[in-house]
Amino acid sequence: MRSRLAVLLALVSVSAGAVAQGATDAERGIGFELKRTSITPRHPTFDAKREIRLHYGFAATRSADLRIEVRRAGSGKVVRAYRERDARPGRRLARVWNGLNRRGRSAGDGRYEFRVGPGGGAMRFAGRFRLRTHVFPVDGPHGTRGAIGEFGAPRSGGRVHEGFDITADCGTRLDAARGGKVRKVGYDPVLYGYYVLIDGRRTSQDYFYAHLIAPPPVGRRERVRTGQYVGRVGKTGNAASTPCHLHFEIRVHGHPIDPEPYLHDWDKHS
């Protein structure tokens, strides 16, 4: 009898807990209701000039402390969380997310969503978006130089090609594939002509742009954003006898890696 009584008491306790948890908002007595949500820009990019911003409002009987979460769509994993203290109902509010996770690292390409709710209460869906971490560097019609412009292609003197060549009309705009800080700018008459090297933000990768038509419009140590104008396609250096093209490299800790798979992916959504 004592054992059966213990089981019954346990079941009652669990049931009461579930009811209490489900009634969190009602117990608070604020009648929280999320309203007027939107996310800008429509196609956000990591470290771009336009920040990722959730716009929202809510109805309630009084001010409340709110929790705003950025989650991975699908898995629901919380990437970043914020607190909005003493938020007032009926006002248009906003929360900016810089694309970084809780550890200060880039959250990466993928689909994300915002959720908003009163502190300790149920979270409401506020909108979903896809985040891109790079853009294609050539802003215009483009092609390739075939096998001769691929990574690892043989060069004179026993060298190999350390980047990938993207052909385009001379003067075509070049954008920063990823934001960061300018490490080097200069002119190399033997190989690269006018060039710029950018240390990518929150990544081990550097991005190198060569054969520019003229000196780049950015200077050493300058902060640039993803998609920012960094030069124009040319044929300076040892490219004088070739079609106009961008020689593009990705370097990891100073060592070049094959950029073609990355460029192919960026080209699909830029």
- For 39-48, what is each residue's pLDDT tens digit? 999 999 999 9
- Identify the pLDDT of residue 165: 98
- For 248-267, what is each residue's pLDDT tens digit? 999 999 999 999 999 999 99
- For 103-140, what is each residue's pLDDT tens digit? 999 999 999 999 999 998 999 999 999 999 999 999 99
Residue 43 and residue 74: Cα distance in Å, rounded?
Answer: 19
Maximum distance among all Cα pairs of the chain, rounded to whole angstroms: 96
All structural domains of the chain with their residue ranges: 31-131, 143-269
CA angle (80, 253, 177) in 5-degree steps: 60
What is the reported pTM? 0.86
H/E stretch holding 205: strand 205-212
Q: Which residue has the tokens 């346990």?
A: 10
150: confidence class by pLDDT, cuts 50, 70, 90: very high
pLDDT above 70: residue 156: yes
pLDDT above 80: residue 28: no
pLDDT above 60: residue 100: yes
Structural contact between residues 30 and 64, judged by C-beta atoms closer than 8 angstroms: yes
Question: What topology does CATH give the domain 143-269?
Answer: Glucose Permease (Domain IIA) (2.70.70)
Compute the CA torsion angle 261, 243, 146, 148 (nearest 10 deg).
-100
- Identify the pLDDT of residue 16: 39
Q: What is the mean pLDDT of residues 166-176?
A: 98
31-131 and 143-269, same CATH topology: no
Which numeric CATH code is attached to 31-131? 2.60.40.4070
24: confidence class by pLDDT, cuts 50, 70, 90: low
